[in-house]
Chains A and B, each alone.
Chain A
Amino acid sequence: MAVATAPPARVAPRHSAREISRSRALNRFKWSIRAPLILLFSLVLTPVLLLQLYFSFHEWTVYLGSWWEAEFVGIDLFKEVLTDERFGWAIVRSLGFAMGSTIGCFVIGFALAYLMYEPFRGSAIYYIIFILPMLTVPIVVAYTAEMLLYQSGPVNDVISRLLGVDFKPAWLTDPKVAMPAVTLLEIWNWTPFSFIIMLAGLSSIPREPIEAAQILGASRWRIFWEVQLPLLRPVILLALVLRFLEAMAEFPKTWALFQGGPGSSTETIPVYIFLTTWQYFQISKGAALSYVAMILMVVIVLLAIQLLRREKRALDAMYSSKTEAAD
């Protein structure tokens, strides 16, 4: 390979008519995508965010006159929120829930994808079955679960019969079990998502390196560990990040089943914000909570983007075109 020498100083390029018209078309295309987003953002999101910002600096609840006459309290509300132990626990719970369900979804989804990626007779049927949970509306998942999970309900009954011993966890009323129960439901609901991503990832790995490994004497396990897994890294990361972000915002199932209870055992961030705002009618505190939660999420998202970018760069380097190196 030739050692790259300093490129010759470029003379200011003269743009041909074709280049100009091309860059114009490109610009037009860019704006045609950007414009609706900016419009939507400025019409819908900005007023909401501004209003919320207003509320987080003014003490107002629905019992106190008109909102525009609310008293300015500076950063008092943020102080309150940041010292609120319940909110702290909500964050911990959300993080725990998101991690648990993400890992659960990933492990099961990946395992199913691994079983499915080589086509076999009837695989389409399995595919449909594995996808179904994702197509079920979360609120339906919650209500169905409620019917199945009560203490003397069918799930406990079936498990008891299978095990031959009494198996009677109070899924819906025991504060220790409630959060794991939602986590399991989340896993059931969203495993298909990880499954689809991992299936796509597995099928996109070129066949030859795997065959090369096979004939070089690698067992299935070694091939998985040494060839498939490293090549799947970016996809795995994507599956984990997307699932984690979604799980952080999970609300319908947690709310429909528990409304934060028993006690405060299922108070995740969204549930706690909802409770504060619409059950206790502390609109201002709710707004401040939302802001803090939003900043937390923005930080997580930025980290995730950073991570994904790094993976993409590594991937690009791995598959960079051979012709470049050929000279």
Chain B
Amino acid sequence: MARIELCDLNKSFGSVRAVKDINITIEDGEFVVFVGPSGCGKTTTLRMIAGFEDPTSGEIRIDGRIVNDLEPRDRGLGMVFQSHALFPHKSIAQNIEFGLRMKDVPAPERIQRVREVAEMMHITHLLDKMPAQCSGGESQRVALARTLVTNPSTFLLDEPLSSLDAKLRRELRAECGRLQEELKRTFIFVTHDQEEAMTLADRIVVMRSGEIEQVGSPMDIYSEPISYFVADFFGSPSMNLVAGEVVGDTDVVRFRSTHFDFALPEHFKKSKRGAATFGIRPEHVGVAFGGKGEIELPVRLVEPLGKDTLLYFDDGTERAFIAVSEGLEMADVKSGARITLSFDPRRLYLFDADGRRIGAATQF
């Protein structure tokens, strides 16, 4: 059982502020994913929770108890590292057993528990091997088992999957999810991969240059991004974002960019006029030949993926404007063809010059 609270947590390395005023409470049994680009402070935050880094200021509480001055081993946490961090000179069984030995668990019980955990992680066939003889995926399973066996209240996972190839990553991602469901423990997972965050998390913490940008469920983060940064970070293919300006008088409000100009839905009427970025996810862009729609753009490239087709349009920026069309209906469109695009009015986003969301409150 562990409820982890971070209060006004700060960490500076010299003059660099790596983590700024982090405040968050992670509930018992929750799967929280810290996500953000490299250098956003997510790993530093995790290492402070683990006890490897001392916060410059602020408090870390586990179940209400301040643990700032506790050694990592006294915090009752388990950690899995990106590099697996197995002991290369010990066999897999000895690796898994290590934590139990450190806690002076008697030998027969150790053997029993190592076996149980190995079965749970499907690595019984590896027990007599050395870490160097295991593949990356196997090593990470062992690392998980080694943490699991000590029965920690909370699992800290520092980009545990990023050194694996795509297939293994998916496989172990599912494994992590399954483990958390079975164990009902608190999981704090750090990653720079938005897809991992979306699939695993109960709650996502998006971090950006040392600060929390947004906290919310995967669906919240995806459909209600509070800023340009979050909108851009989540989703694959990522959200179409076009710079331009909001213009118009009290009755009509329009969005204008170098290549197009269209009327914004009603609820943007009261929005501030001026420079803004318009955003819409590719799946919310409707495509039709000569149909009704907001704008018309020339096709640059067509990518038939089978299940759906990606259409890349030229919107005058370097970044193509993408639309997803279901099936292979649009697969034969030639590049250069002009197609009418319609926007789902409820899925339209506007961000101001500072990257903050405009008109979010009236959305639904």
Contact = CB atoms under 8 A, between A and B. Distances in A.
Given A211-B72, A215-B78, A320-B132, A206 B83 contact: yes
A143 B51 CA distance: 52
Contacts of A214: 51-52, 71-73
Contact of A325 (B50, B88, B132, B146): B132
Max chain B Cβ within 10 angstroms of own Cβ: one of A212, A218, A230: A212
A170 to B, nearest CB: 48
B97 to A, nearest CB: 10
A213 B87 CA distance: 9
A284 B71 CA distance: 68
B146 to A, nearest CB: 7
A284 to B, nearest CB: 52
Interface stretch (B134-142, B193-201, B244-252): B134-142
Contacts, number: 89
Given A211-B79, A326-B136, A216 B146 contact: yes
Interface stretch (B98-106, B169-177, B307-315, B346-354): B98-106
B10 interface: no
B85 interface: yes
Contacts of B56: none
Given A212-B79, A214-B71, A215-B77, A325 B133 contact: yes
Nearest to B95: A212
Contacts of B81: 208, 211-212
B85 A318 contact: no
Given A217-B99, A322-B135, A211 B88 contact: no
B130 interface: yes
A231 interface: yes
Interface in B50-95: 50-52, 71-73, 75, 77-79, 81, 83-89
Contacts of B325: none
A1 interface: yes
Given A211-B52, A216-B73, A222 B102 contact: yes
Contacts of A213: 87, 98, 102
Nearest to B84: A208
Contacts of B143: 212
Interface string A177-214: 00000000000000000000000000000101101111
A35 interface: no
Interface residues of B, number: 35
Nearest to B74: A217
A216 B99 contact: yes
Interface string A218-241: 110010001100110000000000
A320 B134 CA distance: 10
B87 A217 contact: no
A212 B103 CA distance: 14
B87 A211 contact: no
A326 to B, nearest CB: 4
B119 to A, nearest CB: 20
A319 B88 contact: yes
B73 A215 contact: yes
Nearest to B158: A208
B150 interface: yes
Interface residues of A, number: 26
B85 A212 contact: yes
A162 interface: no
A17 interface: no
A317 interface: yes
B99 A208 contact: no
B85 A209 contact: yes
B219 to A, nearest CB: 33
Nearest to B99: A216
A217 B103 contact: yes
Interface in A308-327: 317-320, 322, 325-327
A217 B52 CA distance: 13
A327 B138 CA distance: 12
A64 to B, nearest CB: 61
Nearest to B104: A217
A212 B72 CA distance: 10
Interface string B104-134: 0000000000000000000000000011111
Interface string B150-164: 100000000000000
Nearest to A233: B89
A325 B132 CA distance: 8
Interface string A265-308: 00000000000000000000000000000000000000000000
A42 to B, nearest CB: 44
Given A206-B85, A218-B102, A322 B79 contact: no
A325 B137 CA distance: 11
Contacts of A212: 79, 81, 85-87, 143, 146
A206 B89 CA distance: 13
Contacts of A219: 73, 102
Interface in A144-175: none
A317 B88 CA distance: 9
Contacts of A211: 50, 52, 72, 79, 81, 85
A227 B85 CA distance: 11
A220 to B, nearest CB: 9
Contacts of B87: 209, 212-213, 226-227
- Among all A-B residue pairs, the 3 with the closest Cβ atoms: A208-B85, A216-B99, A326-B135
Interface of A: 1, 206, 208-209, 211-219, 222, 226-227, 230-231, 317-320, 322, 325-327
24 contacts: A206-B85, A208-B81, A209-B88, A212-B85, A213-B102, A214-B51, A214-B72, A214-B73, A215-B51, A215-B77, A216-B73, A216-B78, A218-B73, A218-B98, A226-B98, A230-B89, A231-B88, A318-B89, A318-B132, A320-B132, A322-B139, A325-B132, A326-B135, A327-B135
Given A214-B73, A222-B102, A322-B134, 19 more contacts: A209-B85, A209-B88, A211-B50, A211-B52, A211-B72, A211-B85, A212-B79, A212-B86, A215-B51, A215-B75, A216-B102, A216-B146, A218-B102, A219-B102, A231-B88, A319-B88, A322-B139, A325-B133, A326-B135
